[in-house]
Amino acid sequence: MTNFGFVINNRTCIGCHACSTACKAENEVPLGVARTWVKYTEVGAYPDVRRNFQVTRCNHCANPPCVRICPVSAMYQREDGIVEFDQDQCIGCKACLQACPYDAIHVDPDSGTAAKCHYCSHRTDLGLEPACVVVCPEHAIIAGDMDDPSSEISQVLAREQVTVRKPEQGTAPKLFYVDGNDFALTPTAVPRSPETFMWSDVVPVSDSESEGPIAQSQGHPAAGPIQYAPGRAAEHMVQVGYTFHHLVPWHWPVPAYLVTKGIAGGLFMLMSLGVLLGLFPADPGMFVVGGFASLVMLGATAALLVYDLERPERFLRILTHPQWDSWLTRGAFLLMGFSLLLGGWWLAETLAWLGVLSPASVVGFRGLALPLGCLLAVGVTVYTAFLFGQAEGRDLWQSTLLPVHLLVQAGVMGGGSMLVLAQLFSLPESLSIVSAAVFVTGLVVDLTAILLGELGMPHATETAAAAAHRMSRGAHRRSFWLGGIVLGHAVPLALMGLAWPMLAAAAAVAGLYFYEHAFVMAPQEIPNS
Ligand code: SF4
Cα 174 to ligand 1 centre (Å): 10
For the CA of 175, the nearest atom of ligand 1: 7
CA-to-CA distance for 102 and 393, rounded, in angstroms? 7
Residues in the chain: 529
For residue 95, pLDDT over 50 is answered with: yes
For a pocket test of ligand 1, which of 105, 119, 176 has the largest count of ligand atoms closer than 8 A to its C-beta? 105
Helix (H) or strand (E) holding 513: helix 501-524
Count of other CB atoms within 10 angstroms of residue 160: 14
Strand partners, 369: none
Residue 201 banded pLDDT, cuts 50, 70, 90: low
Confidence (pLDDT) at 199: 67
Angle in degrees, CA 443, 399, 213, rounded to 5:
95
For residue 207, pLDDT over 80 is answered with: no
Do residues 4 and 117 make contact, with C-beta atoms less than 8 angstroms apart?
no
Do residues 353 and 283 make contact, with C-beta atoms less than 8 angstroms apart?
no
Inter-CA distances, 6 with 59, 136, 140, 177, Å: 8, 13, 10, 9
Q: Atom 5 (ligand 1): residue with closest C-alpha? A: 100
Do residues 351 and 257 make contact, with C-beta atoms less than 8 angstroms apart?
no
Strand partners, 239: 42
- CA nearest 9: which of 249, 178, 197, 238? 178
Cα 58 to ligand 1 centre (Å): 5
Residue 208 banded pLDDT, cuts 50, 70, 90: very low
Residue 189 banded pLDDT, cuts 50, 70, 90: confident
CA 412, 415, 421, 423 dihedral sign is negative
For residue 63, pLDDT over 60 is answered with: yes
Cα 164 to ligand 1 centre (Å): 13
For a pocket test of ligand 1, which of 37, 66, 78, 174 has the largest count of ligand atoms closer than 8 A to its C-beta? 66
CA-to-CA distance for 125 and 278, rounded, in angstroms? 65
CA-to-CA distance for 521 and 471, rounded, in angstroms? 8
For a pocket test of ligand 1, which of 90, 96, 97, 100 has the largest count of ligand atoms closer than 8 A to its C-beta? 100
Confidence (pLDDT) at 379: 98
Q: Atom 1 (ligand 1): residue with closest C-alpha? A: 58
Cα 226 to ligand 1 centre (Å): 31
Confidence (pLDDT) at 242: 85
Cα 104 to ligand 1 centre (Å): 6
Do residues 209 and 477 make contact, with C-beta atoms less than 8 angstroms apart?
no
For residue 193, pLDDT over 80 is answered with: no
- What does DSSP assign to residue 166? -
For the CA of 77, the nearest atom of ligand 1: 6
Q: CB-based contacts of 421: which residues, under 8 Å, 6+ apart?
A: 286, 289, 290, 293, 427
Q: The whole model's pTM is what?
A: 0.92
Cα 321 to ligand 1 centre (Å): 22
Cα 114 to ligand 1 centre (Å): 12
Cα 61 to ligand 1 centre (Å): 6
For the CA of 103, the nearest atom of ligand 1: 2
Strand partners, 52: 41
Residues at CB less than 6 angstroms from ligand 1: 58-61, 64-66, 83, 100, 102, 104-105, 116, 171
Q: CB-based contacts of 104: which residues, under 8 Å, 6+ apart?
A: 56, 57, 58, 59, 66, 116, 117, 529
For residue 209, pLDDT over 50 is answered with: no
Residue 402's identity, in one-letter code, is L
Cα 123 to ligand 1 centre (Å): 20
Q: Atom 4 (ligand 1): residue with closest C-alpha? A: 61
Q: What is the mean pLDDT of residues 104-133?
A: 97
Do residues 265 and 230 make contact, with C-beta atoms less than 8 angstroms apart?
no
Cα 75 to ligand 1 centre (Å): 10
For residue 286, pLDDT over 60 is answered with: yes
Helices (H), 17-125: 18-27, 65-69, 95-99, 121-124
- Tens of pLDDT, residue by residue over 372-391, are 999 999 999 999 999 999 99
Residue 277's identity, in one-letter code, is L
For a pocket test of ligand 1, which of 56, 75, 83 has the largest count of ligand atoms closer than 8 A to its C-beta? 83
For the chain, percent of residues with pLDDT exceeding 90: 83
Mean residue pLDDT of the chain comes to 92
In degrees rounded to 5, what are phi and psi of residue 224?
A: 105, 160
Q: Which residue has the higher pLDDT, 34 or 209?
A: 34
Confidence (pLDDT) at 163: 97
Q: What is the mean pLDDT of residues 299-307?
A: 98
Q: Atom 2 (ligand 1): residue with closest C-alpha? A: 100
Confidence (pLDDT) at 228: 42
For the CA of 171, the nearest atom of ligand 1: 4
CA 225, 229, 231, 237 dihedral sign is negative
Do residues 412 and 439 make contact, with C-beta atoms less than 8 angstroms apart?
yes
For a pocket test of ligand 1, which of 69, 97, 116, 529 has the largest count of ligand atoms closer than 8 A to its C-beta? 116
Q: Name the 3-class secondary structure at 382.
A: helix
For the CA of 116, the nearest atom of ligand 1: 8
Of the spans 39-48, 74-83, 206-215, 231-240, which averages the highest pLDDT? 74-83
Confidence (pLDDT) at 227: 36
CA 334, chain centre distance (Å)? 19
Cα 205 to ligand 1 centre (Å): 22
When mean pLDDT is compared across 84-88, 103-107, 453-457, 507-511, the lowest value belongs to 453-457
Q: Which residue has the higher pLDDT, 218 or 458?
A: 458
Cα 204 to ligand 1 centre (Å): 25
For residue 45, pLDDT over 80 is answered with: no
Burial class (CB in 10 A: 0-12, 13-18, 19+), 260: buried
Confidence (pLDDT) at 197: 77
Count of other CB atoms within 10 angstroms of residue 445: 16
- Tens of pLDDT, residue by residue over 443-495, are 999 999 998 877 778 888 889 999 999 999 999 999 999 999 999 999 999 99
- Tens of pLDDT, residue by residue over 392-435, are 999 999 999 999 999 999 999 999 999 999 999 999 999 999 99
Inter-CA distances, 161 with 6, 63, 155, 180, 301, Å: 14, 22, 12, 9, 50
Q: What is the dihedral of CA 328, 332, 337, 338, to 10 degrees?
A: 90
Confidence (pLDDT) at 211: 38
Burial class (CB in 10 A: 0-12, 13-18, 19+), 316: exposed
For residue 291, pLDDT over 50 is answered with: yes
For the CA of 392, the nearest atom of ligand 1: 5
Q: What is the mean pLDDT of residues 216-234?
A: 40
- Tens of pLDDT, residue by residue over 318-329, are 999 999 999 999
- What does DSSP assign to residue 363? H
Cα 69 to ligand 1 centre (Å): 11
